[in-house]
Structure 1
Amino acid sequence: MEAGDLDAMLATLWRVDSPRIVARLVRLVGDLDTAEELAQDTFVAAIEKWRHEGVPSNPAGWLNTTARFLAVDRIRRRDTQRHKYHLVAATTPRSTDLDIGQIVDGDLADDLLGLIFMACHPILPPDARSALTLKLVCGLTTGEVARAFLAPEATIAQRVVRAKRTLAAADIRFELPGPAERPTRLDAVREVIYLVFNEGYSATSGDSWVRPELCSEALRLGRMLANLTPDDTETLGLLALIELQASRLTARVGPHGDPVLLMDQDRTRWDRLLIRRGLALIERIHRLRGTAGPYALQAAIAACHARATTAADTDWPRIAALYDGLVQITSSPVVELNRAVAIGRAFGPQAGLDVVRPLLDHPAMRGYHLLPAVAGDLSCGAGNHEEARRYFLDSAALTANTQQRRTMQRRAADCATHHAGSTPHQQDHDLPPEC
C-alpha cells in the first residue's frame, strides 16, 4: 500500500475507531487523559508497523488488541509489585461486576454509554459535558464541536480542557450509574446522543453530506438508553425522533454523493422498518401519558413527514402548530428557524420570512449557515430572487461542508438565472433533523 493510501486509511480509522478505543481504555486505566494518550500511541504503532509489514486483515481488531496491551503495560509500570490482572481489576469501578475478560472483550456499546455518563457527570457544567462527550464519543474536531454549538473554537477548546481537569481532580471514574443517579445526568446524555445524530445526519464539514456511522452510533446509544429508562417519555421521544429521521438517510444522498433535499426525496426509499419503530415509540409515549417535552414534540413533527406518502401530502399546519408548542418550552433559535420553515410552508413564504428576519440579528446565529439558506429559500418562494441569491451565497461562504456549499452555490446560480428571466431548476431546502 502506498504511503498516501495508508495515511488516508489511518485517518478514517482514527475518525471511526478512536472513540471506541478510548471508551475501552477509560474502563481499563480509569482516566481520560491516559486513555486518549494510549489511543494516540496505538495509532502511532499502527503507522510504524503497517508501513513495513502491511495492513492486517482486521485493522480495527489489531488496534483494539494493541491498545489493550499498551494499557496493561502502562498499568504494570504503575506498580510492578502486583500481577497485571490484579492491577486491571483494581482499576475497574466498584459499581460493576465485570472480570478482566469482560472488560477487554465486553459490549462496546456499554463502554460508549458508560463513557457518555462519565463525561456527563453533574460536577461539570452543562456546556462542558456536551462538548467533552462529542469529542470523546464522536471523534469530532474542536472546530466541528464549535459549529455544533454555534460557539467560537477557542471557547470549546477551553471547555474540554477544563472538563478533563475537573474530572481528574475529583477522581471521577468510569461508570454506568445506578437508577437513583441517572435522572441527574439524563438531560445531558440525551442532548449528546442527539448531537451525535445531527452530525451524522448533516455533517458540519468534510466532503460527505451525511456520516452514516455516526447515525448508527446514535441509534445504538439511544436504544440502550431507552432500555435503561423504559418509562422515561423524553428518552423514548429522543429515540423515536432519531429512528424516524434515520429512515430518510438512504434517500438523502444521490448517486454521486450530492444532497437530495427533503421535498425531492424518493419516499419509497425511506426505511419502513425504522418508521414503524419510531411510530410505535410515539404510541408508547401516548400510553404512558407523559408530559410532552422537546424530544417528544420533535418526534411528533418527524412523524408528520413519515406519514405523508408524498411531499404534497405533508400536514404543514399541524407541523407549524407543533413548533408553536415547542418554542414555548425551548428558547433555541434553531427551533425558531425550523418553525419559520413550517410557517412558510403552511401559510406562505412571507409569513416564514417574518419569523426569520429577527433571527438574522441573533448573536448565536451569525455563523450558522442554515439561517441564510432558509432565508434564501423563503425569499425565492416570495419572488425576491436577487435577495435569495445573496442569502444562498452567504450560506455557501459559511458552511464547511463541501456538498452543502455546492448546493448553495447552485441555488444562487438558479436565482441569478431566474432574475434574468429564465426558469431555473427549483429545489427545496432540507433542514436539520428537528424539522
Structure 2
Amino acid sequence: MQQQELIPHLFRNEYRKITAVLCKLFGIENMEIAEDIASDTFLHASELWGIRGLPDNPTAWLYTVAKNKAKDHLKRNKLFNQKVVPMVQNAASELHELEIDLSDQNIKDSQLQMMFAICHPVIPAEAQIGLSLRILCGFGIEEIAAAFLSNKETINKRLFRAKEKLRQLNVKIEMPNEAEINHRLESVLATLYLLFNEGYYSQARDVTLRKEVSLEALRLTHLLTENQATNKSAVYALLALMSFHASRFEARLNQNGETVLYQDQDESLWNAELINQGEHFLRISWEGSTITKYHLEAGIAYWHTIKADTPLKWETILQFYNQLLFLQYSPIVALNRTYALSKANGKAEAIIEAEKLNLSRNHLYHSLLGELYTDIDNGKAVVHFKTALGLTKSKGDREVLKRKIAALDLRK
C-alpha cells in the first residue's frame, strides 16, 4: 500500500482506537484532548513520513507517538496533578512508570466501554449516533452531516451539546450495570447498524462501497458477543445481517466502480465463508425470546444469498417485510417491500402500492417505479428513471440509470 493510501487507511482504523483509550485515561470530560492528541499524531505522521519515508511498523509508530504526546500533555497540564499523582508515587519524577495501555485487549475494552458511555440516555439518539461516528469510527464532521442530511454547523452544535451533557453528569467510561446495559444496548446497536450502512452505501462522497467502514462496524458488533453482559440475541441478529450483506461486497461493483444490481451480480464472487458465518449467527439469534428488526432484516438478507428466483423465496421475503412494517413502520422499508411484492404477486399490484408512498424526492422511489413500469409503460419508466437521475448523488447509480434510460430509448 502506497504512503498516500496508507495514512488515510491507518487513520480510519487506528484513530478511533487511540481516541477511545485516551478518552478512558483522561475521562469523558476531556474528550477533545483525546481527539486532539490522536489527530496531532496523524498530522505528525503525514509530515515526517513524507520526509523520512515509512517506518518499519507504522501502527506501532503511531501508538508510540500517541503515548508520548499523551504523557507530554499530562506533564504540562493540571490533569497531571488531578489524575496521575493519585496513581503514581512521586509522579513528577516517575512519569515513565505511567503505562498508557494500547494493547489489543485494552483497546477492545475501551471501545466497548466508550460505546455505552456515548449511548447514555441523557443525550438524544441522533447525538449518540453522531458522537459514536466521530469518536469510535473517526468520521469527519462533513461525513456525519451527510449521513444526517444536515450541515456542519448543526452537527458541531449537536456534538458540543452532547459532550457538555456527558461532562455535567460526569458519565464514566466503564461498563454499566446489567439493567443499564439492557437499556442502552438498543442505541448501541442502532449506531453500529448506521455505521455499517454508511460503509455499505455512502452518500457522503462519490463512493458506493467503503468496505473497511462496514467491516469495522462488524468487528465492533462482534465485540459485544465477547462480553457476557452484552451477548444478546439481537447482537447476533445484527451480526448475521452484516455478514450476509458483506458477503456480496465483491459483486456489487464492476471493474469501472459502477453499481451492479442484485439480479446481475456474479454469484461466484459472493463470499461463502461470510454467508456461512451469517447462517451461524442467525441460528444463534433465533434462540432468544425477543424478535427484533435485526432478526427480520437478517432473514431477508439470508434469502438474498440464494440467487434463484422461486415463489418460496419472494413470498418469504414479503412476509418478513410485512412483519418488519408491523414492528416499526418506515417509508423506505415499505418501498423495499413493494419490490418483493412485484416478485411475489406481479408488477401491477406493486405499482399501486408503491405510488401510495409518494416519496417524490427520493431517488430510490423513482428508480423502483422505473423498474416496475418497464415493459408495462416504458414512457413512464423513462420519466421515473430520469427523475431518479436528477436526485441521486452516487456516480455509480447515475451510470446504471443512464444505461436503463438508453436501453428503453432504443425500444421506441
1:129: Cα distance to partner? 0.7
**Which string of whole-angstrom CA distances, capped at 9 and with x for unpartnered residues, describes residues 19-68 of structure 1?**
23322221232232111122222222223322332232333332222122
Task: Give the alignment partner of residue 404 of structure 2, picking from 401, 411, 417.
Answer: 411
Q: Within 5 Å, which residues of 2 pair with 1:4-403?
A: 9-30=6-27, 31-79=30-78, 101=99, 103-107=101-105, 108-151=107-150, 154-228=153-227, 229=229, 232-288=232-288, 290-306=289-305, 308-311=306-309, 315-361=313-359, 366=361, 368-380=362-374, 383-403=376-396
- Answer whether contact 1:369 1:396 (CA < 8 A) is retained: yes
1:110-163 deviation line (CA, Å, top 9, x unaligned): 333332222111211112111221222233334433443455665434322221
Q: Is the 8 A contact 1:29 1:75 kept in 2?
A: no
Amino acid at match of 1:371: Y
Contact 1:38 1:67 in 2 (8 A): yes
- Structure 1 residues 196 and 81 mapped into 2: Cα distance closer, same or farther (>3 Å)? closer
Deviating more after overlay: 322-331 vs 76-85: 76-85
- Per the TM alignment, residue 343 of structure 1 is displaced from its structure 2 partner at its CA by 1.2
CA distance in 1, matches of 2:83, 2:170: 22
Gaps of 5+ in 1: 91-98, 421-435
Q: Match of 1:202, as an amino acid?
A: Y
User: Cα–Cα, structure 1 residues 85 and 350, in superposed 2: closer, same or farther, change >3 Å?
Assistant: same
Q: Which moved more, 1:176-185 or 1:328-337?
A: 176-185
Aligned-partner residue type, residue 316 of structure 1: W
Q: Indicate if the aligned counterparts of 2:221 and 2:239 stay in contact, CA closer than 8 A.
A: yes
Q: 1:140 to 1:81 in 2, by over 3 A?
A: closer
Deviates more, 1:178-187 or 1:202-211: 202-211
The alpha-carbon deviation at position 412 of structure 1 amounts to 2.9
After the TM superposition, which of the residue ranges 77-86 and 29-38 deviates more from structure 2? 77-86
CA distance, structure 1, for counterparts of residue 80 and residue 298 of structure 2: 55
In the alignment of these two chains, the number of paired residues is: 401
> What's the counterpart of residue 433 of structure 1?
none
Distance of 2:87 and 2:197 partners within structure 1: 36
CA–CA separation in structure 1 for the residues paired with 2:87 and 2:401: 53
Write out per-residue CA displacement over residues 198-238 of structure 1, whole angstroms, 9 at most, x where no aligned residue.
Answer: 11222223343211111211221122213335662222211
Instruction: Return the alpha-carbon distance in structure 1 between the equivalents of residues 183 and 215 of structure 2.
Output: 26
Task: Show CA shifts across 1:388-435 (max 9, x none).
Answer: 3333333334333332332233333333333x2xxxxxxxxxxxxxxx
String of CA shifts for 1:332-373, please: whole Å, max 9, x gaps: 2221121122112212223223233243347xxx3x442332
Q: CA deviation at 1:75?
A: 1.6
Normalised TM-score (structure 2): 0.86
Distance 1:80 1:383, change over 3 A: closer
Instruction: Return 5+ residue gaps in structure 2 as ranges.
Output: 90-96
Measured on the aligned residues, the alpha-carbon RMSD in Å equals: 3.0
For residue 17 of structure 2, what is the amino acid of its counterpart?
R
Residues 137/404 of structure 1: CA separation in 2 closer, same or farther (3 Å cut): farther
**Cα distance change, pair 271–100 in 1 and its aligned pair in 2 (3 A):** farther
Aligned partners of 2:100, 2:33: CA distance in 1, in Å? 21
Look up the equivalent residue of 1:115 and give its one-letter code.
M
Q: Is the 8 A contact 1:234 1:296 kept in 2?
A: yes
* C-alpha distance in structure 1 between counterparts of 2:141 and 2:100, whole Å: 32
**Would the alpha carbon gap of residues 316 and 172 (structure 1) be closer, same or farther in structure 2, given more than 3 Å must change?**
same
Instruction: Return the letter of the residue paired with 1:272.
Output: A
Tell me the SS of whatever aligns to 2:226: helix
The AA in structure 2 aligned to 1:24 is V
Taking the aligned partners of 1:225 and 1:70, their CA distance within structure 2 comes to: 30
SS in 1 for 2:304: helix
1:75–1:88 contact (8 Å) kept in structure 2 = no
TM-score, normalised by the number of residues in structure 1:
0.82
Once the two structures are aligned, what percentage of the paired residues are identical? 32
Give distance in 2, aligned partners of 1:89 and 1:269.
55
